[in-house]
């Protein structure tokens, strides 16, 4: 969706802002009472305009209840984790409103433009982005994605300069040129969908641009509030059968065969774990089963085969209140 407006006069701007701000504050207040989070994802071709928009939103909204996250250069810990881990850990809880400055679309675009990603890798990253966003939306997250396309026209209709409030090293002050435009269009077209479309803001002056941004956010929050009031949980039918029901509990080994095979497999696991360590490759092993089914014993036998520095055993119990307030996969 694209919002394109002519330049806005001071008189029009001053007449629009009071009502817009009141409605935004009310929508933000209503958001706090909903059982799902909302995220404003802000990106664009001109970083300074995005910074000014963040500054303005902190004036219009109640900053106490606006979680603003600037995604700059990944930290050492973040680099050691999966690529989307830092975005996952920044997700707001249910009823919260977050403003993400930059994030996954800006990083993907920057890496394509500097040659880190070729065309195939860029397409793979965009598919990963779609999957990530679909996961959020499926859990009820309202994702309001805004992309600022235009630069001020330079005739004086420009908001006063703001400081670089976000240290986003891979986001230049401006992306321009045919080469950049092609990749920007690819990014926007591949990562838009009905549930989480991109809202393109194409306004020549800062007044029209910031009003358009405010209206997009207002529409997204109000529409979401109405949808939540009219929604009802739908229960999925129970599966007819389970994998556990088909387990053959009569299988067994004699002690000698068991000991021989266990030693062989433990040596193999030791070799593979060292290779994985050298390759900096993470392995996750998930154990499920009945109580007293032997999970603890299996973990002990596995742990004996892996150097202690390379293993972490994580027990998973009922989620805490903080974990319940987030996406059900967040705690993992």
Residue 47: give the domain boundaries: 2-230
One domain, residues 215 and 74: yes
Split into its structural domains, the chain has a count of 2
Residue 291 forms part of a structural domain: yes
Question: How do residues 52-66 score in pLDDT, each as one tens digit?
Answer: 999 999 999 999 999
Indicate if 152 and 202 belong to the same structural domain: yes
At which of 230, 253, 282 does a domain end? Answer: 230
Inform me whether the pLDDT recorded for 168 exceeds 50. Answer: no
Residue 93 and residue 54 share a domain: yes
Per-residue confidence (pLDDT) for residue 160, from 0 to 100: 44
Residues 178 and 79 in one domain: yes
Torsion, Cα 197 199 200 206, to 10 degrees, reads: -160
Residue 4 — pLDDT band, cuts 50, 70, 90?
low
CB 298 within 8 A of CB 287: yes
Q: What is the mean pLDDT of the chain?
A: 85
Residue 185 maps to a domain: yes
Work out the average pLDDT over 117-129.
Answer: 96
pLDDT in tens, 32-89: 999 899 999 999 988 888 899 999 999 999 999 999 999 988 899 999 899 999 999 9
Please report whether residue 248 resides in a domain. yes
267: phi then psi, degrees, rounded to nearest 5: -65, -40
Let me know whether 254 and 186 are in one domain: no
Query: For a pLDDT cut of 70, what percent of the chain falls above it?
Result: 85
- The neighbouring-strand residues paired with 174 are 46
CATH of the domain at 135: 3.40.50.300
Are 221 and 30 within 8 A, CB to CB? yes
Model confidence, pTM? 0.80
Backbone φ/ψ region at 101: left (φ over 0), alpha (ψ -120 to 50), beta: beta
210 and 264 belong to one structural domain: no
The verdict on 44 and 140 lying in the same domain is yes
Q: Look up residue 104 and give its two tokens.
A: 């996954």
For 173-232, write each residue's pLDDT tens digit: 556 667 788 999 999 999 998 889 999 998 778 889 999 999 999 999 988 655 455 455
* Domain shared by 267 and 165, yes or no: no
Residue 239 lies in a domain: no
- Is the same domain home to 52 and 134? yes
């Amino acid at each position: 969706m694209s919002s394109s407006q002519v330049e806005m006069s001071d008189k029009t701007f001053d007449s629009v802002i009071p009502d817009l701000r009141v409605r935004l504050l009310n929508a933000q207040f209503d958001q706090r009472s909903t059982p799902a989070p909302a995220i404003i994802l802000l990106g664009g071709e001109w970083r300074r305009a995005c910074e000014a928009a963040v500054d303005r939103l902190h004036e219009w909204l109640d900053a106490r209840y606006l979680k603003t996250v600037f995604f700059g250069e990944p930290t050492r810990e973040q680099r050691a984790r999966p690529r989307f881990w830092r975005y996952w850990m920044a997700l707001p809880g249910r009823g919260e409103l977050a403003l993400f400055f930059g994030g996954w679309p800006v990083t993907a675009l920057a890496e394509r433009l500097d040659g880190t990603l070729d065309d195939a890798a860029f397409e793979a990253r965009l598919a990963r982005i779609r999957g990530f966003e679909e996961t959020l939306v499926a859990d009820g997250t309202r994702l309001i994605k805004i992309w600022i396309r235009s630069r001020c026209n330079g005739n004086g209709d420009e908001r006063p300069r703001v400081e670089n409030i976000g240290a986003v090293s891979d986001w230049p002050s401006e992306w321009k040129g045919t080469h950049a435009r092609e990749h920007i269009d690819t990014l926007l077209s591949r990562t838009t969908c009905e549930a989480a479309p991109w809202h393109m803001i194409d306004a020549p002056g800062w007044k029209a641009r910031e009003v358009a941004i405010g209206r997009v956010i207002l529409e997204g929050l109000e529409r979401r509030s109405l949808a939540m009031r009219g929604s009802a949980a739908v229960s999925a039918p129970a599966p007819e059968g389970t994998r556990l029901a088909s387990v053959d509990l009569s299988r067994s080994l004699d002690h000698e065969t068991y000991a021989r095979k266990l030693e062989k497999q433990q040596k193999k696991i030791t070799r593979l774990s060292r290779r994985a360590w050298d390759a900096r490759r993470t392995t996750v092993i998930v154990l499920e089963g009945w109580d007293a089914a032997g999970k603890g014993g299996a973990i002990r036998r596995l742990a004996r085969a892996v150097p202690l520095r390379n293993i972490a055993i994580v027990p998973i119990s009922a989620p805490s209140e903080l974990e319940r307030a987030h996406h059900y996969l967040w705690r993992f």
